[in-house]
Structure 1
Amino acid sequence: MSGGASGAGYNRSTAHLTRPAAQSIQDAVLRPFWTDDAAGPTSEPALRGAHRADLLVVGGGYTGLWTALQAKELDPGLRVVVLEGNTVGSGASGRNGGFCEASLTHGEANGELHFAAELPTLHRLGMENLDGIADTLRRYGLDAEFERTGQLAVATEPHQLEWLATESGPAVTRLDAAEMRSSIDSPLYLGGEWSRHDTAMVHPAKLVWGLKQACLELGVTIAEHSPARALRREGERMVVQTPHGSVEAARVALGTNAFPALLARARPYVIAVYDYVLMTEPLSDAQLASIGWSGRQGVGDLANQFHYYRLSADNRILWGGYDAIYHYGGRVNRAHEDRPATFQKLAEQFLLTFPQLEGIRFTHRWGGAIDTCTRFAPFFGTAHGGRVAYTAGFTGLGVGSSRWAARVLIDLLSGEQTELTELGMVRSKPIPWPAEPLTYPLVELTRRSLNRADARGGRRNLLLRAMDAAGVGFAS
């Protein structure tokens, strides 16, 4: 092992790393590593003309494809159409970190804050959902590089040690500094905990491409480059318009996440927050040996402005997080995907974490929009007499929970009372974001407050304490 844990964490000056960090990212291409693959599927034709369906799904990411797949599994005779405005997986589903978690509530603390009474049920449903993802991949023969490694939560500041689990057991193991660094060696690590069974690592694009393949095999119609422009009701059926066609359907499921919902009532609950990621070149055997990481777990530090990182199948390190950037008006815009200052900062923080890897190069850099709501967990709703159902607000944890949310949509559209439709989490809404010009200054003030809290031993100022009391949060 190299060096000794200092507790200075990511608030330590990085001035001496400016030049090495700049060199490390100078050749990185601006596109997601996951979708930079010639083996990706060809696009399905755009929708043209008038079509009819029993179920229309708007959005060709995880939420939409899981909805289509599960609906066809429940009723193979159902006519299902999926509309995707770009290509399947071009949004968050093809550019996330690949952490497929069992949590439906964005972690234990957030679950206690918002859904304490039904948290045991949500725990059970979350683990069943993760098992269901693994089973689906097996049944359809889909290779999404699914590895059920668990996840390490890492303390890089002394006050974060208090946030770790106080007891160990078969599900969660508490690690002291030496044990943590024997798992993954970084001079910043003061301790951690390993949640062994509730997280898998996946290749995000292969997962969404595999879901597309499975849907097509079951007879789902997928139309790409077919943005949904308008939703209207005609008698007992709904009609969605695209630039060159339309679909008339008995039921409609909306899974557009960070993109503006077709229903105005859903829009105040979501803002688009941009998250940024770097991917290294493959590590050599010597480089990998210098940090260990034999368990291949996903990792997240415990700061308010946190980092998440993991190994790819070919032993690259994905390194993301820290900055969560909201742009005035909250619209999704491809121009927001490049942020040089953030990429520089991430590279500097990477070299603080793994100084033994100085000289490594990053091959890819990218950003993407996260559908953020004030309670950090998905919300649900219906409209037009139950003919339309929607969900959004996953706040970065949709890789796993999108499958569960899709099943909720199916149950809501059935009109029947089920265990899922009766959950308080499904029946309640988060606090909506205020309209501009209030959201932007509120988010900026919150980000600065979170940064100060990280630098001041976790002490939260009046604004953050007030937001805690109101059950409102902000994160990537």
Structure 2
Amino acid sequence: MGCALKHLSFWHETAGDDWAPRPSLPGTTAADVVVVGAGYTGLWAAYYLAAADPGLRVVVLEAEMAGYGASGRNGGWCSALFPASLPTLAAMSDRTAALAQHQAMRDTVDEVVRVCAREGIEADVAKGGTIALARTPAQLRRARAEVEEARRWGRGEDDLALLDAGAAAAVLRAGDTLGATYTPDCAAIHPARLVRGLARAVERRGVVIHEHTRARAISPHHVETDHGSVSADVVIRATEGYTPRLAGHARTIAPVHSLVLATEPIAAHLWEEIGLRRRETFTDHRHLIIYGQRTADDRLVFGGRGAPYRYGARISTDFTRDAEVFKHLRATYVDLFAPLRDVAVTHTWGGVLGIPRDWCASVGLDRDTGLAWAGGYVGDGVSTTNLAGRTLRDLVLGRTTDLTALPWVNHRSPAWEPEPLRWAGINAGLRAASLADVEERLTRRPSIVGRALERVVH
């Protein structure tokens, strides 16, 4: 199994890890805290808990191996993006709390960078920020509106700036660029190196990780697995897109696939034509999300949504059926960067992200049951998981802090609709995003479908 994991993605293959499996749970045991899931959320929670109280008995259970899921397969953006908008957060609390959440996300990017340095995690970190291109009049209009909204919230140019075509080209030269937005709050990373390094850092602090130990059910102070059970004062659910596999959680999170590709190393003269000298991450203002980065070894890693939601919350392990989506991804980056038309794609892969019904991530602890959770990141989890880990630390240890006062704490998202409504609704949304982008390319005006879609997801 360890060797097979190397072939899950470009990141897994280049993690510099032998992927030797850790022992499974040897039988029924007890702990102070048991964490279900050895991705970013579970490992950050274990890391901060063990650092704050070295006497805690913390056990992490993982169905596959640490970094198997989205934590090892994502696009490598450690950003300040949070899935719920500031108006949504303010409606849940108030304006001050919403802005505190935003600032906490900005601070979290730097915290991840600091931990990598402190723990010697060689995750190819480069904090170059994110440029979001506007390549049609409709996209430019949205870019301007986003910056105007940021100013109404008191966010300055050091947070989000509007670039004209020339300033955008100085960062990233893509075809038909009219302008862009830029934020400094993002670091490009090698996600698999981060998660594997974090797992080792956790173990150095005395945390025990049991791999190949699938949790079947979570209940107050108890986790039932296929290798026995664990009782604990606190049970942390950190399963993100895999949550529907737990008994009783079929409608908690919708697992949606995102697909990614990597090219061969790109020649220096081509990068000189394109840009990204500081390894800025990039996207544009279309409706159907795309994302990319220049890797430390000068490849292009490029991904996006578009793969259909699988009926019954099924999670795919075979992405050969998505050949058309990968073909579209390649066509999209060639449309952006014509000099890359002859560059070969060497890796294609996919992973699952978790979407809550109201598109709002949450973290919390029910003291009566000892059940804690974090998730629903909608693809923005590389940094948000770190904030979740520090918040879970404070909640579990009974601390009242600035983090425990943030509006996402103890938020409860409604359950998703049962099938087939969920299948029909999510796939209709994906189709609508694609149609909105086509409409805007043809009409050069903001899409009516797109405006309706934005109201649904924000």
Q: TM-score, normalised by structure 2?
A: 0.88
1:226 has 2:213 as partner? yes
Residue of structure 2 equivalent to 1:124: 103
Structure 1 residues 305 and 423: CA distance shift in structure 2, 3 A: same
- Partner SS, residue 64 of structure 1: helix
The 1-side partners of 2:295 and 2:225 are apart by 37
The 2-side partners of 1:282 and 1:108 are apart by 39
Deviations 1:411-442 (A, max 9, x none): 33345544333433223323432111111111
Gapped regions of structure 2 (runs ≥ 5): 1-5
Task: Specify the code of the residue in structure 2 equivalent to 1:326.
Answer: Y
1:98 has 2:76 as partner? yes
Residue of structure 2 equivalent to 1:69: 47
Deviations 1:305-352 (A, max 9, x none): 021111000010011114152111112231357511101111111211
Structure 1 residues 66 and 306: CA distance shift in structure 2, 3 A: same
Q: Is the 8 A contact 1:450 1:460 kept in 2?
A: no
The structure 1 residue matched to 2:194, chosen from 183, 191, 207, is: 207
Aligned residues: 437
Q: TM-score, normalised by structure 1?
A: 0.85
The structure 2 residue matched to 1:451, chosen from 421, 428, 434, is: 434
Matches within 5 A, 1:14-163: 31-37=8-14, 39-40=16-17, 41-105=19-83, 117=95, 118-163=97-142
Q: Is the 8 A contact 1:159 1:458 kept in 2?
A: yes
Q: Is the 8 A contact 2:15 2:193 kept in 1?
A: no
Cα offset for 1:453? 2.4
- Partner SS, residue 408 of structure 2: helix
Structure 1 residues 427 and 221: CA distance shift in structure 2, 3 A: closer
Structure 1 residues 38 and 305: CA distance shift in structure 2, 3 A: closer
Q: Is the 8 A contact 1:272 1:370 kept in 2?
A: yes
Q: Is the 8 A contact 1:231 1:262 kept in 2?
A: no
Q: Is the 8 A contact 1:374 1:473 kept in 2?
A: no
Residue of structure 2 equivalent to 1:335: 318
Matches within 5 A, 1:54-453: 54-105=32-83, 117=95, 118-164=97-143, 165-166=147-148, 169-196=157-184, 198-233=185-220, 238-260=221-243, 267-336=250-319, 338-383=321-366, 385-415=368-398, 417-453=400-436
The 2-side partners of 1:380 and 1:272 are apart by 18
Q: Is the 8 A contact 2:262 2:347 kept in 1?
A: yes
Q: Is the 8 A contact 2:98 2:406 kept in 1?
A: no
Structure 1 residues 71 and 113: CA distance shift in structure 2, 3 A: same
Structure 1 residues 107 and 153: CA distance shift in structure 2, 3 A: farther
Cα offset for 1:146? 1.3
Task: Specify the code of the residue in structure 1 equivalent to 2:136.
Answer: E
The 1-side partners of 2:225 and 2:396 are apart by 22
- Partner SS, residue 179 of structure 1: helix
Q: Is the 8 A contact 1:269 1:393 kept in 2?
A: no
Structure 1 residues 230 and 171: CA distance shift in structure 2, 3 A: closer
Cα offset for 1:377? 3.3
The 1-side partners of 2:53 and 2:256 are apart by 37
- Partner SS, residue 242 of structure 2: coil
Task: Specify the code of the residue in structure 2 equivalent to 1:154.
Answer: L
Gapped regions of structure 1 (runs ≥ 5): 1-28
Q: Is the 8 A contact 2:86 2:99 kept in 1?
A: no
Cα offset for 1:262? 7.4
Structure 1 residues 263 and 72: CA distance shift in structure 2, 3 A: same
Structure 1 residues 38 and 183: CA distance shift in structure 2, 3 A: closer
